[in-house]
Amino acid sequence: MRKKTAMQKRLIVSDQLLDIMLQRLAHQLIENHVDFSESVILGLQPRGIYLAERLEQKLNAILGFPVRTGALDITFHRDDFRRRENPLTANATRINFHIENQNVILVDDVLYTGRSVRAALDAMIAYGRPAKVELLVLIDRRYTRHLPIEAMYVGKYVNSLPSEKVLVEWKAPDNPEDNVWLITKNEEL
Amino acid sequence: MQQLSVRHLLGIKDLTPADIALIFETADNFKEVLSRTIKKVPSLRDITIANVFFENSTRTRLSFELAEKRLSADVINFSASGSSVKKGETLLDTVNNILAMKVDMIVMRHASAGAPHFLSRHIKANIVNAGDGTHEHPTQALLDSFSIRERYGEVAGKKVAIIGDILHSRVALSNIFALKKLGAEVMVCGPITLLPRYISELGVKVELDVRKALAWCDVANVLRIQLERQQMKYFPSLREYTLYYGIDKKLLDSLNKEITIMHPGPINRGVELSSDAADSHHSIILNQVENGVAIRMAVLYLLASQVA
């Protein structure tokens, strides 16, 4: 008998639900940061920047003015360089403002082991000393943390196995809707 | 996720255009790192690098050392003067002794062409060639092309004249390989005695008149007259060389277009380049030095991902 691997893809957040979620996260941010005069958003490369972009649009629509938003690349601060099979390719860091004494909201799509966030904290410190740092994630995979890191704002908590993967797909020219999928690789006989 | 096609950086000749593109993209990111308040990343903190210099160097060695330190690598420096090389130790023995101290990468400059290639066949560590005799100087060529890309947006289609002592120049050979791979047009210009006989086989134009070369090019990479490598007279006198091949502000102003002046250093001011030309707005000589650190960080970072 030949073993074959099948991939199961289960929808965990639909397009409509994701929009409500973003709306809620934006309002939670406003509740804590009011006019964002001393607050900035940093999306983590490579995938957190899309969520940061969406939040920025939502906030702009509600507040009527833009919130300072940047992209932070963590490649050179990761702890798995030379410990993984594929080398890491760096992405651009775009921070056109000072983070010294600001409230920084780090934004990523999925919180899993917490190692990316640890690297992000390191990478961020190279730009200055923020007054306060918060973490916002769309999906928090529960009970999978390797480090004592928790998010302050969470779109949805998901229980998942290490063999599973959470995939956030954003609306793009080749993709009509926003969706979040839980992907399972099954080994069948 | 991309990776270099080579384990060592011995010369530009072995690199693919994709390798060069990957090095440039990585260097862009390191250039951004160098503009931060804290100009250091922890990527290479578990790597030890030996800078083994059998020949004198200021810029290249400082640039490599700074690149290594910015990447948090441990660094040891070795120079042939004042070492056991004077007592008759062979190259392989010297390097093996350094490697016995658990060194992961070697940055080497040597007066003999092919010395790093020889080493690469006998040792496990990754090697970066920092100049081997009159053969290649790959990181210099990478930073030169990177600086042209920074100035013009791309290298492809640009006309680059390499002017001066082509015969003794490793910078010239590496630059020719790099520029051709990136799609630039290349011309070499110098006194006939300082042009290698079959240089046009590499697909470069040859020109003896420096005015015509300057009128043709977008970028002039001016090389130093390497008196230390010349065992015989290739031209009657330095004064005569300056008269025929020296570039000054007057000559640059007489061209009816803007060209960019580059020089790998050290400059013999008043010989191949006058002070008013070297310090003019045409010159990107100090940008080259700045880019050198980012390029060397990129090369070390990409090679280090292959350290076992």
A87 confidence band (pLDDT: 50, 70, 90): low
What chain A residue is nearest to B26 in terms of C-alpha separation? A90
For B283-304, the pLDDT digits (tens) are 999 999 999 999 999 999 999 9
Instruction: Select the residue of B29, B36, B301 nearest A127 (Cβ to Cβ).
Output: B36
Contacts of B41 in chain A (CB under 8 A): 76-77, 123, 126
Give the containing element (helix H, strand E) for B171: helix B170-181
3-state secondary structure of B232: coil
Q: Cis omega (within 30 of 0) on the bond before B266?
A: yes
Distance CA B93, CA B302 (A): 27
What chain B residue is nearest to A125 in terms of C-alpha separation? B38
CB contact under 8 A, B29 and A76: yes
CB contact under 8 A, B1 and A86: yes
A177 near A168, Cβ under 8 Å?
A: no
Task: Give the bridge partners for B161, in sequence order.
Answer: B187, B220
* Residue B86 Cα, gap to closest chain A Cα (Å): 37
Closest to B245 in 3D by CA, of B202, B218, B203, B277: B277
Contacts of A82 in chain B (CB under 8 A): 46, 304-305, 307
Q: Annotation-wise, does B231 bind a ligand?
A: no
Mean of per-residue pLDDT scores for chain B: 92
Closest to B13 in 3D by CA, of B178, B170, B149, B184: B178
Q: Annotation-wise, does B180 bind a ligand?
A: no
* Residue B304 Cα, gap to closest chain A Cα (Å): 7
Mean pLDDT of the B140-152 span: 97
Name residues whose C-beta falls within 8 Å of residue A119's C-beta, 6 or more positions apart in sequence.
A74, A77, A78, A79
Distance CA B146, CA B287 (A): 10
Please tell me which of A83-92, B42-51, B136-145 the model is most confident about, judged by mean pLDDT.
B136-145
pLDDT of B146 strictly over 90: yes
Q: Which of residues 278-307 of B touch A (CB under 8 A)?
A: 301-302, 304-307
For B213-271, the pLDDT digits (tens) are 999 999 999 999 877 766 668 888 888 999 999 999 999 999 989 999 999 988 999 99
Amino acid residing at A63? L
Kindly report which listed range (A30-34, A83-87, B136-140, B179-183) carries the lowest average pLDDT score.
A83-87
- Please tell me which residue, B86 or B164, carries the higher pLDDT value: B164
Name the packing angle between helices B138-152 and B59-70 (round to 10°): 80
Contacts of B304 in chain A (CB under 8 A): 81-82
CB contact under 8 A, B29 and A91: yes
Q: Annotation-wise, does B140 bind a ligand?
A: yes
Q: Which CATH architecture has domain A4-77+93-188?
A: 3-Layer(aba) Sandwich (3.40)
CB contact under 8 A, B305 and A82: yes
Mean pLDDT of the B153-161 span: 96
Q: What is the pLDDT of residue B37?
A: 85
Q: Which residues of A touch B (CB under 8 A)?
A: 73, 75-77, 81-82, 86-93, 122-123, 125-128
Q: What is the pLDDT of residue B196?
A: 93
- Give the ranges where B217-306 is alpha helix by DSSP (H): 238-245, 249-254, 275-278, 285-304
ipTM surpasses cut 0.90: no
3-state secondary structure of B125: coil
A167 near A18, Cβ under 8 Å?
A: no
Q: What is the pLDDT of residue A83?
A: 75
B277 near B261, Cβ under 8 Å?
A: yes
B105 near B127, Cβ under 8 Å?
A: yes
Mean of per-residue pLDDT scores for chain A: 90
Closest to B25 in 3D by CA, of A33, A179, A73, A184: A73
Distance CA B151, CA B147 (A): 6
| CATH, range B138-288 | 3.40.50.1370
Two structure tokens written together for B171 = 């910078």
pLDDT of A128 strictly over 70: yes
Q: What is the pLDDT of residue A189?
A: 44
Q: B12-135+289-304 with B138-288: one CATH topology?
A: yes
Within 10 angstroms of residue B169's Cβ, the number of other Cβ atoms is 27
Q: Cis omega (within 30 of 0) on the bond before A46?
A: yes
The listed CATH number (3.40.50.1370, 3.30.200.20, 2.70.210.12, 3.40.50.720) that belongs to domain B12-135+289-304:
3.40.50.1370
Asked if B84 is an interface residue toward chain A (Cβ–Cβ < 8 A), one would say no
